[in-house]
Structure 1
Amino acid sequence: MRLPPEDRDLSPHTGYTRAHWEAAADGLLEAAWRWSSPRGAFLDLPGRPSKSGVRSDGLEGYARTFLAAAFRIAGAGGADPNGLLSRYAEGLSAGTARDGAESWPVILDHFTQGQPMVESASVALGLRLTRPWLWDRLDPEVQDRAEEWLRGALRHVPAPNNWYLFPFTVAGFLESVGRGDAETASARGRALELLETWYHGQGWYSDGDGRAFDHYNGWALHLYPVLDGYLAGKSLHGDRLREHLESFSLLFGADGSPIHFGRSLTYRFAAASAVGLGAVTGSTPLALGVSRRLLSGSLRYFLERAAVDENGLLSLGWHGPHEPTLQSYSGPGSPYWASKAFVCLLAGADHPLWTSVEEAAPSEGPDRVLALPEPGFLVQSSGGIVRLHNHGSDHVRPFEGEVAGDDDPHYGRLAYSTHTGPTSAGNPADNHFAVVVAGVRSVRRRIHPLGAAENWAASWHRPVFATGSPMVPGLRVESLTVARGVHELRVHRVIGAPPGARVELTGWATGAEAVSSLRPLQGWTDEDEVVAPQGTAYTAWARMPRLTGDASAGLFVALATLSADALPDTPTTFTDLTFTWPDGVTTHLALEPLGVS
């Protein structure tokens, strides 16, 4: 990828300017188009196919790169120095042809052939953004064929989550070109109705019914409606995006890394798309120098860590290829949802997003702890590392039972960070409290929040076992995290444990990128270290501290630490439910309910 020289006067933190974003878009698009089908309807990128099959994957490559091209060209007022629009126009013509050699898969219900519905939103948004230079110049027959293919998204059932915003986006495009009707109005109305039920406050949506709070907030649940309103010349939920960015802006490390939490992390710097959207639309509480710091920091972070392979393509993974990061729906074109970050290019070259001097990211300031009771998060920032203590997001849908699956590394752990990734399902679990019955360790599935305020958050769950009896009657674990500086006080109360049960607590899984410790304070009898041979997204091989004890003790207290440098000296005391931190501040625990008094 050919990037221009750094500008450390304008961008003292990253060196990146708008020209770097344009060059990154150009480089990614140039590389991807080397793998196009003869007429360009498919970009058949190399790599393991998704469960949807290679034709769907080829459409995904077309649609997601089209989105990056559309942001790039629309932000430049239609300038298309690399001749991309003619390629996408030809691909659209071939893809929407009936029974042609490059005809796209039709859009069906999500449970039969749903992936094309996802890609229809990127096609529609790309067409809307480039309308004067692409859509308006198409033959009427091609326009009609494109409309008919897109309407498949309006006539079939989306997945019960952010997918409802795909027909919403398709309908928005059709209405913008004078092709709206009752069908488009219905799709838009239904999506907005559901969006209301998924909004929990503090700028956070759940991804469908239930309590799935993750990066889909930024790159889907905020992006589609806010951008739709902006393109239509009106405001739509911009106030929610503004409130979201107040907390979300803290979830980037000083090195630019987003928080490593939730599914679809192969989208990488798409995590910053909400930051760019807020800057473009004015729906942001951030100084624009801070916005660019977060955007460019995230882009640079991945470009410097092998996210782009030897072919110039975004790989399936986090830094480089990383199988445990992926889901079954991930295919070679999937990483190009990273294209959503290029929404920032809709701000022209003279926009303050690009002319303001970069300012420090929130995580580069003083130590900070932020409680978010609505999603059940406790965000802790210290020394450039950001931690997310999860007491509210579980990705277990309402119609699924507690035993709907085994350990989910992307949601089930107690904590996540910008510098460590969860261990894979086949390795010992990091940041996990397990009840061990007859040699079988429990997992944490559905999470029930107990509260969050100031520097603490708490929750409870029913331990689930993969073999033998899936649950023990009456067994319940309550968990509390209190954060200060680089330290986390972890408190767990076990209720209803059967005779002979044991408990285990693990800390952060680290390699060379960070160090961690786990100090027993009450209830624990033994401590050692375990390894994760498959490593994490950050390290090829990881180790983590572990504490064990007899479940009959009931209350278990430990002090966890994660640092980028040597672990600090931590003189502390814990007596009579009162913990004294290294700086002399005291925390008093409450048990009914579990929390801080």
Structure 2
Amino acid sequence: MSIQVTGNPEVGLIHPVARNPLRTRRDVQEALSQLLEPLSKCYSEGRARLILERSGVDAYADIAEMEGFSRVLWGLIPAVAGGSHDELWELSLQGIRAGTDPEHAEYWGKVNDYDQRLVEMAVFGLAFALIPDRIWQPLSEKEKANLYQWLDQINHHPCYDCNWLFFRVLVNVGFHKAGLPYDAGQLENNLQRIEEFYLDAGWYSDGIGGHCDYYVPYAFHFYGLIYAQLMGDEDPERAGRYRERAALFARDFIHWFAPDGAAVPYGRSLTYRFAQSAFWSAAAYAGLDGFSPGQLKGLVLRNLRWWFQQPIFDRDGVLTVGYAYPNRIMSENYNAAGSVYWSLKTFLILALPDSHPFWTAEEQELEEAERISVQEPAHLVLCREPQTGHVAAFNTGHPSTNEHTHTSAKYEKFVYSTAFAFSVPRAEWGLAQGAFDSMLALSEGDRLFRVKRLCEETRIQEHVLYAQWKPWRDVEVRTWIAAGLPWHIRIHRISTERTLDAAEGGFALGLGSLSSSMAGEEAASASGTFGTSAIYGMLGYDTAELIYPHANTNLLHPRTVIPTLRAALGPGIHWLIAAVFATPSAPGTPAIEEPSMEDVKERLGVEIGQREIKIMTQTGNIIVIPMD
């Protein structure tokens, strides 16, 4: 399935799907085949489990293997509905028979409360709705009873109070569409509870007080649009509401995508990779207004092309856990080897026939968008640099947190980028282990650094973001960020009763071949194969240095360098101001521009006085920060 190539060491193995032009429906069907063919030897004897790795034998491994089996179905079911992939479906049907048979050795078992298998039931609801003649009719009466009873467990066990509620919705909608008994009370109760997660402008939070991340497009709206399409005649009011919200959300979400198809890496579950474009597939499937078929086609196919050029497969052609390369360090506690195949949700477009406008339309390029998009429900300001296509999401931070892996890195950095991504800590000691790009890290001199994990107050005023946060009970940080590309400004007011070491990290630059680098008293920069990253101390910093984080901390590149400013702070009030620069793929760019105060006022829109700081907004308004 793979051949060894020479060249960029980050490319490694070329998967056949990388050569797929992804222009036609036939190309996309072939892409699914290319992704699934390496799995053919990984099914268990009874075909009910997908065995991608196993260290030891325990119940969790069994559940992980069932998860892998079910996640393949997110791509396979739409393909079968569209008239392809019959052979693999017959193999999967064998697995369904075995997995739901209590007398079979590969029985998927009785589920528990909040069980991962509840998650994996949702795709069966899709199957009942799209291909009842292929999943239900071929079964014997006993096999039908087994499948129904196994799935109906979802109506008798609690799910987590978040996007999980849609799993119960999909199963019951599937039962209903197949003419089987379903729990109408559960269906309605869960739909009503999901309403309480809705915020504004098309955004949901992932549960009360939860974050706004990719679970909004590839969970809430993805399932909501499927519901709207399947239940539009029976529940027109709710279906219409889901469509309206998705159309509103789409206006914001399009700003997350670069012209080359890359999307901003932000939040958890990023190992689902090209599920980033599943929302656009669902929009095409449901006939969402606001975007032409050619626009939707471009958004989906460009994202797939970008992903299939990344080294995300192992030597056998199987998808790995990671982001732009195999990387367990960035993964979540709930990620298993088969989890990554949730990315196949994007193949929902294969349910659309050849004659559908999505397939007959000419693919359209990403339209020129506004340079700045303020997305207040998500606490984000999206910026675009037209010359390079670079997209960055500036972030205030959030009033709540969670216990998922690397929460601070995934939700609390000052900025997230399509070209530079972000880094997660490798361990807890020192700047190299912490990999603190786009963060202010504070230590009491013991090299154990604290960063923003949650905020006491946040707000956005035009393109200026504000957050108040406390790394210790007696240390308060107020942060202002003037968003922009390629430069942005960070301002911190730090009130501390402790003696602190401060480190302000710029963007993490993939090492590649560095053409130049420098670090001095006021600035640090690096330039090379992947672009230029620089940081300039305008007030309060003592020195600058280049930090080379431990391997596999960044999501895009295994090895990086982070230009970083340093300051020693005694008890009292301190002001720190930095100008941060980043532009991708620009070798030969001057290593650092050291703006004078006039440059700051003119180019960056910031003027530093004796008693106040003035920030000029994109509309010409002035925001004044008193320096008390």
Pair 1:250–1:119, CA change in 2 (3 A): same
Q: Secondary structure of the residue that 2:156 maps to in structure 1? A: coil
Contact 2:406/2:424 (8 A) holds in 1: no
| Cα offset, 1:2, TM superposition | 5.2
Given candidates 91, 96, 108, the residue that maps to 2:95 is 91
Give runs of aligned pairs for residues 18-29 of structure 1, distance below 5 A.
Answer: 18-29=25-36
Q: Which residue of 1 aligns with 2:522?
A: none
Contact 1:43/1:61 (8 A) holds in 2: yes
TM, length-normalised to structure 1: 0.87
Q: Which deviates more, 132-141 or 236-245?
A: 132-141
Give runs of aligned pairs for residues 28-427 of structure 1, distance below 5 A.
Answer: 28-46=35-53, 53-74=60-81, 76=82, 79-110=83-114, 114-181=115-182, 184-234=183-233, 235=239, 237-362=242-367, 365=368, 368-382=371-385, 383-393=388-398, 396-397=401-402, 408-425=408-425, 426=427, 427=433
CA offsets, 1:396-446, max 9 Å, x none?
15xx8xxx9976322232211112232232223111112333434222112
TM, length-normalised to structure 2: 0.83
Pair 1:222–1:121, CA change in 2 (3 A): same
Contact 2:126/2:170 (8 A) holds in 1: yes
Q: Secondary structure of the residue that 1:40 maps to in structure 2? A: coil
Alignment-mate amino acid for residue 540 of structure 1: P
| Cα offset, 1:98, TM superposition | 0.8
Q: Secondary structure of the residue that 2:468 maps to in structure 1? A: strand
d(CA) in 2 for partners of 1:444, 1:160:
26
Given candidates 555, 571, 574, the residue that maps to 2:575 is 555
Q: Which residue of 2 aligns with 1:10?
A: none
Contact 1:293/1:360 (8 A) holds in 2: yes
Q: Which residue of 2 aligns with 1:11?
A: none
Contact 1:55/1:105 (8 A) holds in 2: no
| Cα offset, 1:522, TM superposition | 2.0
Pair 1:593–1:557, CA change in 2 (3 A): closer
Q: Structure 1: 5+ residue runs without aligned partners?
A: 8-14, 464-470
Q: Secondary structure of the residue that 1:452 maps to in structure 2? A: strand
Establish whether residue 575 from structure 1 lines up as the match of residue 608 from structure 2: yes
Contact 1:2/1:23 (8 A) holds in 2: no
Pair 1:424–1:98, CA change in 2 (3 A): same
CA RMSD of aligned residues (A): 2.8
Pair 1:273–1:292, CA change in 2 (3 A): same
Alignment-mate amino acid for residue 548 of structure 2: V
d(CA) in 2 for partners of 1:48, 1:589:
57
Alignment-mate amino acid for residue 565 of structure 2: L
| Cα offset, 1:299, TM superposition | 0.9
Establish whether residue 441 from structure 1 lines up as the match of residue 449 from structure 2: yes
Q: Which residue of 2 aligns with 1:468?
A: none
d(CA) in 2 for partners of 1:405, 1:306:
23
Pair 1:105–1:443, CA change in 2 (3 A): farther
Q: Secondary structure of the residue that 1:538 maps to in structure 2? A: coil
Alignment-mate amino acid for residue 262 of structure 1: G
d(CA) in 1 for partners of 2:199, 2:392:
22
d(CA) in 2 for partners of 1:243, 1:229:
15
Q: Which deviates more, 54-63 or 365-374?
A: 365-374
d(CA) in 1 for partners of 2:502, 2:619:
29
Contact 1:50/1:331 (8 A) holds in 2: no
| Cα offset, 1:168, TM superposition | 1.5
Alignment-mate amino acid for residue 549 of structure 1: A
Pair 1:116–1:502, CA change in 2 (3 A): same
Identity of aligned residues (%): 22
Alignment-mate amino acid for residue 36 of structure 2: L
| Cα offset, 1:548, TM superposition | 2.2
d(CA) in 2 for partners of 1:41, 1:413:
41
Q: Which residue of 1 aligns with 2:483?
A: 483
Alignment-mate amino acid for residue 575 of structure 1: I
Q: Which residue of 1 aligns with 2:458?
A: 450
Establish whether residue 522 from structure 1 lines up as the match of residue 522 from structure 2: no
Pair 1:575–1:393, CA change in 2 (3 A): closer
Pair 1:198–1:50, CA change in 2 (3 A): farther
Contact 1:40/1:87 (8 A) holds in 2: yes
d(CA) in 1 for partners of 2:262, 2:58:
29
Alignment-mate amino acid for residue 577 of structure 2: V
Contact 2:18/2:308 (8 A) holds in 1: no
Pair 1:394–1:508, CA change in 2 (3 A): farther
d(CA) in 2 for partners of 1:155, 1:280:
31
Q: Secondary structure of the residue that 1:532 maps to in structure 2? A: coil
Pair 1:333–1:478, CA change in 2 (3 A): same
Pair 1:50–1:557, CA change in 2 (3 A): farther
Q: Secondary structure of the residue that 2:483 maps to in structure 1? A: strand
CA offsets, 1:335-390, max 9 Å, x none?
1001110112233222222222222225xx36611111111101111121111112
Alignment-mate amino acid for residue 322 of structure 1: N
Q: Secondary structure of the residue that 1:442 maps to in structure 2? A: coil
Q: Which residue of 2 aligns with 1:538?
A: 556
Contact 2:267/2:411 (8 A) holds in 1: yes
d(CA) in 2 for partners of 1:43, 1:37:
6
Q: Secondary structure of the residue that 2:423 maps to in structure 1? A: coil
Contact 1:120/1:166 (8 A) holds in 2: yes
| Cα offset, 1:180, TM superposition | 3.3
Alignment-mate amino acid for residue 375 of structure 2: L
| Cα offset, 1:219, TM superposition | 1.3
d(CA) in 1 for partners of 2:261, 2:84:
30
| Cα offset, 1:137, TM superposition | 2.8
Q: Structure 2: 5+ residue runs without aligned partners?
A: 1-14, 234-238, 428-432, 513-529, 601-606
Pair 1:47–1:260, CA change in 2 (3 A): farther
